[in-house]
Structure 1
Amino acid sequence: MPVIADRLLAQFEHYPVINLAHPPAADAIVILGAGSYFDAPEYGGDTVSRYALERVRYGARLARATHLPVAVSGGNPAGGVAEAYLMRDTLQQDFNVATRWIEPHSNNTWANAHASRALLPSQINRIYLVTHAWHLPRAIYAFEHAGFTVIPAGTGYSLAKHINPIDFIPQPRGLTNSYFAIHEAIGLIWYRLKG
């Protein structure tokens, strides 16, 4: 049921939303990939998934508010064009935001962090990390381990809506959010174990 799944996911969503009127100082914005939408007929080919689009959209909003350079990170775990290239194209074509750095090789959050550290200039240390709110604890852990100082820039909060009676009826959204909650819990434990 969504009402339970949303609460499971919400335990990871404890970072505050950034005040874009007074954003904290940073050196760059890093947007993490979240999958591809392959052979999208309405776009004439591959593009970002709906989850990646949420991240790209918020990253574009943050870039316009801060005027900081943008990095995108995401490989191609399912084959095809790397997510980073699709994110770059979406940022430019749909949001008129340029991408400074493209990291197209990583296929998970840990690799995103370490490949981004290797790619970005050494003076880029304090970053806005754009990902889903429920993904932030694991992503922050990985990026801090890689040597960044992270300003959490979450989007897609699961509890950004009021509870409706329909939330007490089993729905696919409940299964999806339960999956994300379990995935994040296991991933965070794994990252802490491997150090």
Structure 2
Amino acid sequence: MFIISKLAIALISPLGASIFGGLLGVVLALWGRLRLAISLGVLALLWLWFWSLPAASNWVRGYLENQHPPMAIQDVPQAEAIVVLGGGVSPAGHGDLYPNLESGADRVWHAARLFHASKAPLVLLIGGSDPSHSAASEAEAMGQFMRDLGVPGQALVLENRSRNTSQNAEYSAEILAGHGISRILLVTSAYHMPRARRLFEAQGLEVVPVATDHEVLSRPLWRNLLPDTRALDGSSRAIKEIVGRLAGR
């Protein structure tokens, strides 16, 4: 099921959809449907070009991020626990010494800020991994980063089984219930927060969303009209979130 979901995500991404459209165009051309094949090929290229534009990427990411704008630490209310979703730290592989910080590592850094500001006494770190590729879970990798940021080990609780956001919410709710916790500060990237919040609230938790890792930045107009690989990546992640919300409904 996990592999199927990953394949589905790859297919709905702009890059995956464009490659699939191009391959389908090749098949149609081999079958003699040349006009239809050319039309499909052009459509696939236009689809890829559009979502590679920073203007398009900022538009779709902004739709998600604007639902949860940045919040100053002093404005964040108190809660019983800080819950940090995985996606910002890659655990060390077999034979590696240290985890690798990814673009979403702001999640862990912001959680450390909240803890040091005494917003909650407990930090729940969430994320499993594939043991065939990783020497530890993502939660353990985040724990190492958190300790480097000065958060004591006794304040950390790890959930290291989940592999997607639905499992994040389900397994975390079990752990939090065992600690008698129902009110949490949920920390994840801004584009991911709308779907994550809904899933955690569906588990009966009182969620205070504390979004971080806001990606949409103002830039000169001419740069918004030039294709960019980072824009394509951002578009893909945002589309995944939107499709995930629709599928959940």
Partner of 2:105: 53
Matches for 1:1-195 after TM superposition, within 5 Å? 1-13=53-65, 14-34=67-87, 36=90, 38-39=92-93, 44-68=96-120, 69-77=122-130, 79-80=133-134, 81-93=136-148, 95-98=149-152, 99-120=155-176, 121-159=178-216, 161-164=217-220, 165-192=222-249
* Structure 1 residue ranges (4+ consecutive) displaced by more than 4 angstroms after TM superposition: 37-41
Report the Cα offset of residue 2 of structure 1: 1.3
Query: CA distance change for structure 1 residues 40 and 77 in 2, over 3 Å: closer, same or farther?
Result: closer
Letter paired with 2:240: H
Q: What amino acid maps onto 2:80 in structure 1?
A: D
Deviation at 1:67, TM superposition (A): 4.5
- Structure 1 residue 139: deviation in Å? 0.3
RMSD: 2.1
* Cα contact 2:78–2:119 (8 A) shared by 1: no
Which of the two has higher C-alpha Rg? 2
Give 5+ residue unaligned stretches, structure 2.
1-52
SS in 2 for 1:76: coil
Q: CA deviation at 1:40?
A: 10
- Percent of residue pairs bearing the same amino acid type: 31
> Are 2:170 and 2:203, in contact at CA under 8 Å, matched by a contact in 1?
yes
After superposition, what is the alpha-carbon deviation per residue over 1:25-63, rounded to whole angstroms, capped at 9, x for unaligned?
21110000005164499xx53414413422101111111
The code of the aligned residue for 2:206 comes to T
Residue ranges of structure 1 left out of the alignment (5+ in a row) = none
Partner of 2:29: none
Question: In the alignment, residue 101 of structure 1 is paired with which amino acid?
Answer: V
Shift of 1:111: 0.4
CA-CA distance at 1:141 after TM superposition = 0.8
CA distance in 2, matches of 1:88, 1:37: 10
Q: Which amino acid aligns with 1:150?
A: V
- TM-score under structure 1 length normalisation: 0.88
Amino acid in structure 2 at the alignment position of 1:5: S
Please report the TM-score for the alignment, with normalisation by the length of structure 2.
0.70
Q: How many residues align?
A: 188
Change (3 A) 1:156 1:82: same
Do the aligned partners of residues 84 and 48 (structure 1) sit closer, same or farther apart at CA in structure 2, a change above 3 Å counting? farther
After TM superposition, give the deviation of residue 17 of structure 1 in Å. Answer: 2.4
Which structure: greater strand fraction?
Answer: 1
Structure with more relative contact order (C-alpha pairs < 8 Å, separation 6 or more):
1
